[in-house]
Chains A and B, each alone.
Chain A
Amino acid sequence: MAIESEVVKHVATLARLNITSEELTTYTEQLSNILGIMDQLDQVPTDGVEPMSHAVDVQIPERDDVVTNTNNQSAMLANAPDSEEGHFRVPKIIE
């Protein structure tokens, strides 16, 4: 299936990826090619087949409701590009 560059633009916005007009052209072409392979799935008889989300058939384990972590603020902020007074710092969020 060919894909419109408008759709690619929208997808880039959803994915929060700034793309140049050049990249838009490349991605539009490449995604169209890739989606061309995807269309092979149309031949697969999937009616009534249970979707498979997990590689193995197990159930979720549950843990006890116990607090196991202690204050680790400095380690949690150590990799932050910008932080201030124990907080992560980001450009002003306008609500």
Chain B
Amino acid sequence: MISDNYEYVIGLEIHAQMLTRSKLFCGCSTQFGATANSQTCPVCSGFPGVLPVLNREAVNMTIRTGLAINGQVRLMSEFARKNYFYPDLPNGYQISQFELPIIEHGHVNIELTKGADKKKGGPMKRIGITRIHMEVDAGKNIHEGIVGASWVDLNRTGVPLMEIVSEPDIRTPEEAGEYLKKIRSIVRYLGACDGNMEQGSFRCDANVSIRRTGQAEFGTRAELKNLNSIRNVMRAIEYEGGRQEDLLESGGKVIQETRLWDPTKNESRSMRGKEEAHDYRYFPEPDLPPLIVTEERIEQLRAKMPELPDDKKERFREQYGLNAYDAGLLTGSQRLANYYETVAETVTKAGKSDNKIAANWVAVELLALLNKNSIDIDKSPVSAVNLGNLVALIINNTISGKIAKEVFAIMFETGEAPGKIVKEKGLEQVTDTGAIEAEVDQVLKKHAKEVEAYRDGKTKLLGFFVGQVMKATKGKASPKMVNELLRKKL
């Protein structure tokens, strides 16, 4: 953490593995978890004489992502070689883009939590995105459990990556977290990346420096690596800020270096000396002519863009009358948003609509149980239609909210429809005046003393009578009607 005397200057580099079937430059599968070196060929393994051929879908995904972050698509971009030696890089160079990346000048708006209001949401901040370029992923070096050697598995070599480079516009660890969430939700909406940080298909390096508050120039930055969750990104930035402030305050200097985050120790260590003087000697990839993208192609891809998180959130606020918080939560993923829309639609179909109750049931009840059991929304045992029908039962007074929670628990357990559960267990709310009146009479008769006390002015006892009636009806009586009848009779 840094003190108020300093502020952070943060830029993030995201590597997002694209969800193509085949690799960027060859026809090998990109499937995760296969037998070592079973998804390799002469091209991705750097054999002599073989040549790369570009995957069209990877280009399309990158263009779509570029459009989603309000970027400009370069009509002419170029692949370049980044030269360095490492066993997981079989060519001795990585095919990337350098001087002419396919996407430039983009931005996203993030919502700040500081000063946020549940109804209106937090203040917005624009984070610039310098560029997005395509490149190949490296393979895997395996060290653990191997005596006196390392192993190399090239299955991941050549899997297409998008590198998304932000401007140094981020000023707090929280902003870094919000930015990452925003980019992750965009690439997920586009189906361009699964956004899985733990498995490494969505990776982030952070360039962090600090400067005295009010100072214009940037300080010297450190590059933080091995940040495998949003939480770790934020923690590593905080740690780095503190480290740099301690250095500066004790008269030291920050040196430009790469630091590796250790999530178990909650600290980073320098990789200096290990990576030695890198000089990547970038030059245009002679095996690949320039990539020309037509306006027509861009427009075709734009026309097929899905509704993006920001637009969807705005629509949820307008169409369903949700507050900023709920709209943000429910549009956090496309699948959750779709789920909610099905719930709301089912409720509406059943007669009366109440989008807020529907939102509450999805955002609070359902998500709590899903998270507790680590179940994905796609695999929810309670289908959206069933949940919609449950909400409809509440709205039309078939069951009370309290009973609904019981029914929901059973639904979550069994996957059954709410109507069936309610019917089988006889949980319908009793709204028959005669039946409730009989129970009320019974209770008043049984508790003559309390009736007297009530009539003497202890009106607080009303709650007691209501409770007794509800108990007698096993909670099925309409609380509203019980109240009305008691008042009348007392």
Touch A–B, Cβ below 8 Å: yes
* B14 at interface, CB cutoff 8 A: no
User: Contacting A89 at CB < 8 Å: which of B21, B151, B279?
Assistant: B151
- Name the distance in Å between A88's Cβ and chain B's nearest Cβ: 4
* A69 at interface, CB cutoff 8 A: yes
| Interface residues of A, count at CB 8 A | 35
Q: A54-B289, A65-B57, A69-B27 are in contact. Are A87 and B22 (CB under 8 A)?
A: no
Chain B residues positioned under 8 Å from A86 (CB to CB): 35-38, 153
Closest to B151 in A: A87
- Name the distance in Å between B96's Cβ and chain A's nearest Cβ: 15
Q: Is the pair B142, A87 in contact by a Cβ cutoff of 8 Å?
A: yes
Q: At the interface with chain B, which of A21-29, A33-41, A72-80?
A: A72-80
Chain A residues positioned under 8 Å from B271 (CB to CB): 95
Q: Is the pair A14, B279 in contact by a Cβ cutoff of 8 Å?
A: yes
User: Contacting B55 at CB < 8 Å: which of A63, A71, A91?
Assistant: A63
* B149 at interface, CB cutoff 8 A: yes
Question: Complex formed: what's the CA distance from A11 to B182 in Å?
Answer: 43
* B143 at interface, CB cutoff 8 A: yes
* B401 at interface, CB cutoff 8 A: no
Interface string of B138-167 (1 = CB under 8 A from A): 000111001011111110000000000000
Question: Complex formed: what's the CA distance from A62 to B151 in Å?
Answer: 33
Q: A59-B292, A60-B292, A66-B21 are in contact. Are A93 and B87 (CB under 8 A)?
A: yes
Question: Complex formed: what's the CA distance from A62 to B77 in Å?
Answer: 14
Task: Supply 25 A–B pairs (Cβ within 8 Å), ascending by A.
Answer: A13-B277, A14-B279, A16-B85, A53-B284, A63-B54, A65-B20, A65-B21, A65-B22, A65-B55, A67-B29, A69-B26, A69-B27, A71-B35, A76-B154, A84-B146, A86-B37, A87-B36, A87-B142, A87-B153, A88-B154, A89-B150, A92-B146, A93-B87, A93-B143, A95-B260
Given contacts A85-B36, A90-B149, A90-B150, 6 further A-B contacts (CB under 8 A): A62-B54, A64-B56, A76-B45, A89-B149, A89-B150, A91-B149
